[in-house]
Structure 1
Amino acid sequence: MSASQEMNRTSLLEVKDLCVSYGKVEAVHKVNVRIGEGEIVTVIGPNGAGKTTLMNALMAALPSAGEVAYAGHRLGERRSIEQMVALGMNLVPEKRELFSEMSVEDNLLLGAFSRYRRGFRDHLQSMEEIYERFPRLRERKRQAAGTLSGGERQMLAMGRALMAKPKLLMLDEPSLGLAPLVIREIFKVIESLKSAGVSILLVEQNARAALRVADYAYVLETGSIAMEGPAKALAGDPKVIESYLGVGA
């Protein structure tokens, strides 16, 4: 992508010089990331590169320094998770963090709580949309979340986040620990969300799957952006192939 094309991407989220530290150890260093409207952007990189830290900082779950602008408005450093959800951002964390003893249906309803508190009463319609997107959740709606398979738990975590009607959905390692057939199903849903107008920031260890579905990609190494560009271009880059896709890719 040329510099002019990059500038023409309509930004939903723009991050400049983001830094995150754990005490004196800097885990993320001056990271610049842009997510366009209706775009899937992926961040790939080795374990320990700072990918999850980056996600948590964007969601205000970790303190950070730098500039974060959402929908053209600069956000203050004292932003909260609740503010981010109200603005239209939501995160599906790597560990999914479901309420195991509660039913599938009740977990989904909790995802709509922030909208309900702001006066919206569309949670039943939203739940029906989630069931259409994830039919298995409808079949198991009365089951405790803790009894679900790994793939079903990932579907529920995504469904719960979607109940908040996010404009930007952030997914941290959605394929982690899942069987190949389930991974394909999850990535089909990710593509369908883009078609529905949801922007997606995808952190993923499965670089091949991530680059296949994404529009734009960043490579994060030791807390800094090492490479970036259109996902198709990075998928064909010799350095990316050698480090993340395997020589035979």
Structure 2
Amino acid sequence: MNALEARNLTVGYGKAVVLRDIGIEVKEGSIVSLVGPNGAGKTTLLLALTGLLPSTGAISYFGEPLATVSVEDRVARGLCLVPERRELFGDMSVADNLELGNFSRWVRGERDTKKTMAEVFDRFPRLRERLDKHASTLSGGERQMLALGRALMARPRLLLLDEPSLGLAPLIVREIFRIISHLRDGGVSLLVVEQNARAALEVSDYAYVLENGSISLQGPAKELAGNPKVIDTYLGRRKAN
């Protein structure tokens, strides 16, 4: 079953069309990556999928159409976005930022905040150590962990990640993508927008290349990782020893 399916999706800002006739699928329990250059429309696509930008075409989530579903209801159904800038509340503690991620579930009467937070700490022990620290005092890697942890507080079924490796040191990037792989193993479906094509393709099951507002290539991630165009444009050829 598809966790997400978009067909003939067209998105723009005013009269300027950014994406035209996009078709993508995210199978349940899989990681799908979306790679491409700056300005290709990757973030725009995520915003349209979450309902933050208007679009034409069809979007379905676990078989249900989303045309009339509000942003808030999409989140309540488990469709969650971790934005590129992380959008943390810097003057609030780590604990408070995490509790905000649980807000929609709390409104629905689900009172398991402590249990859910404990599960987040199992994935991100560093956050437990910094529980009372303001988010603004965290390192870049810790902020990304907090952004992911806050999203996990909503118990997502489908997680949209926008540039999770942005600005992070290589060791932290590996750790973040290890966590992403573990999320899939735990039953979360993921759509990952990423400029670090090598890291994204290594953990993904399927991938799309977005260029100039259209899908130019798609296929199993391992196949795209061996595609000469992808290697030359996004991976760089490795020198032979």
Q: Same fold (TM over 0.5)?
A: yes
| Mapping 1:1-249, distance limit 5 Å | 10-76=1-67, 78-248=68-238
Residue aligned with 1:43, SS: strand
Tell me by how many angstroms 1:240 deviates: 0.5
CA shift digits 1:144-187 (9 cap, x unpaired) = 00110111000000000000000001100000000011101101
Distance 1:75 1:55 in 2: 14
Residue aligned with 1:217, SS: strand
Q: Which amino acid aligns with 1:18?
A: L
Q: Which amino acid aligns with 1:102?
A: M
Residue aligned with 1:129, SS: helix
CA shift digits 1:209-235 (9 cap, x unpaired) = 000000000000011000000000000
Q: What 5-or-longer segments of structure 1 have no aligned partner?
A: 1-9
The structure 1 segments of at least 4 consecutive aligned residues displaced by more than 6 Å after TM superposition are none
Distance 1:121 1:48 in 2: 41
Distance 2:77 2:120 in 1: 21
Residue aligned with 1:200, SS: strand
Cα RMSD after superposing both structures: 0.8
Distance 1:89 1:72 in 2: 13
Tell me by how many angstroms 1:122 deviates: 1.1
Tell me by how many angstroms 1:105 deviates: 0.3
Q: Which amino acid aligns with 2:206?
A: Y
Residue aligned with 1:97, SS: coil
Residue aligned with 1:234, SS: helix
More divergent stretch after superposition (67-76 vs 195-204): 67-76
CA shift digits 1:41-72 (9 cap, x unpaired) = 00000000000000011011111111001111
Residue aligned with 1:171, SS: strand
Distance 2:221 2:145 in 1: 25
Q: Which amino acid aligns with 1:30?
A: D
* Percent identical: 60
Tell me by how many angstroms 1:79 deviates: 2.9
Q: Which amino acid aligns with 2:94?
A: V
Residue aligned with 2:161, SS: strand
